[in-house]
A and B are shown apart, each in its own frame.
Chain A
Amino acid sequence: MDFDFTTEQIELRQNTIKFAQKELNKDILYRDKESSFSKDLWEKCAKFGILGLPFPNEFGGADSDILTTLLVMEGLGYGCKDAGLVFSLNGQMWTVQMPIFNFGTSKQKSKYLPKLCSGEWIGANGMTEPGSGSDSFALSTSAKLKGDYYILNGTKTFITNAPVADLFIVFATTDKTKGFMGVTAFLVEKESPGLKISKEIEKMGLKTSPMAEVIFENCNVPVENRLSKEGNGATVFNDSIEWERSCMLASDIGVMERQLERCIKYAKERRQFNQPIGKFQAISHKIADMKVRLETARLILYKVAWLKKTQDRAGMEAAIAKLYLSESLVKSCLDAIQIHGGYGYTTEYELERDLRDSIGSTLYSGTSEIQKNIIAKYLGL
Chain B
Amino acid sequence: MNLNDELEKFLLTEIAIDFDPDKKSLSPDENLISSGIIDSMGILKLTAFMEKKFGIKIGNEEIIPENFQTLNALTEFVEKKIKK
- Residues of A at under 8 Å CB distance from B? 102-103, 136-137, 177-182, 228-229, 231-232, 234-236, 238-239, 313, 315, 373-374, 377-378, 380
A181 and B61 contact, CB distance less than 8 A: no
- Beyond A313-B48, A377-B41, 10 extra complex contacts between A and B, CB < 8 Å: A137-B40, A178-B69, A180-B40, A180-B43, A182-B65, A232-B60, A232-B61, A232-B64, A239-B60, A377-B42
Count: A-B pairs, CB below 8 Å: 62
A313 neighbours in B (Cβ, 8 Å): 47-48, 51
Cα-based distance from A374 to B41 in the complex (angstroms): 7
CB distance from B16 to the nearest CB of A (A): 13
A315 and B44 contact, CB distance less than 8 A: yes
B64 and A177 contact, CB distance less than 8 A: no
Q: Which among B40, B45, B51, B61 is the interface contact of A234 at CB below 8 angstroms?
A: B40
CB distance from A229 to the nearest CB of B (A): 6
Q: Is the interface of A mostly helix, strand, loop or mixed?
A: helix
B69 neighbours in A (Cβ, 8 Å): 178, 181
B40 and A136 contact, CB distance less than 8 A: yes
Return the chain B residue nearest A228 by Cβ. B61
Question: How many B residues touch the partner, as a band?
Answer: 20 to 34
Query: Within 8 Å of chain A (Cβ to Cβ): is B3?
Result: no
- Residues of B at under 8 Å CB distance from A? 14, 33-34, 36, 39-45, 47-48, 51, 60-61, 63-65, 68-69
A377 and B64 contact, CB distance less than 8 A: no
Cβ contacts A to B, 19 pairs, < 8 Å:
A102-B60, A103-B61, A178-B33, A179-B36, A180-B39, A180-B43, A181-B33, A229-B64, A232-B60, A234-B63, A235-B60, A236-B60, A238-B40, A239-B60, A315-B44, A373-B41, A377-B42, A377-B45, A378-B45
